[in-house]
Amino acid sequence: MPIIVDIDVMLAKRKLSVGELADRVGITPANLAVLKNGRAKAVRFTTLAALCEALECQPGDLLRFEADDTANGRPRPSATVAKAGAEDRP
């Protein structure tokens, strides 16, 4: 997935454990680990806000976008480009 979660970076900077952050945010350590390890499919804004408050950071400090690369090293086309008409195809 092109969204990278950098909670581990902020945990290290703030010298916090996963368990301590989970307690501060009000979620289980297991759910925080799912988010931290990039296995989450979604995150609630309320959870993101609580993480930012507990870590004294901005959402951009926790989440970043990294484009997927194709075999030729260029980013994948967006869905609208991929669905272009037949006249655009080779």
CATH of the domain at 29: 1.10.260.40
The string of pLDDT tens digits covering residues 23-43 is 999 999 999 999 999 999 999
Q: What tokens were used for 65?
A: 């976008």
Per-residue pLDDT, averaged over 65-82, amounts to: 59
What's the pLDDT score for residue 22?
Answer: 97
Whether residue 21 lies inside any domain: the answer is yes
What's the pLDDT score for residue 32?
Answer: 96
Give pTM, 2 decimals. 0.73
State how far the Cα of 67 lies from the Cα of 55, in Å rounded to an integer: 26
Residue 63 · residue 57 · CB < 8 Å: no
Whether the pLDDT of residue 50 is over 90: the answer is yes
Q: How many structural domains does the chain have? A: 1
Whether the pLDDT of residue 55 is over 90: the answer is yes
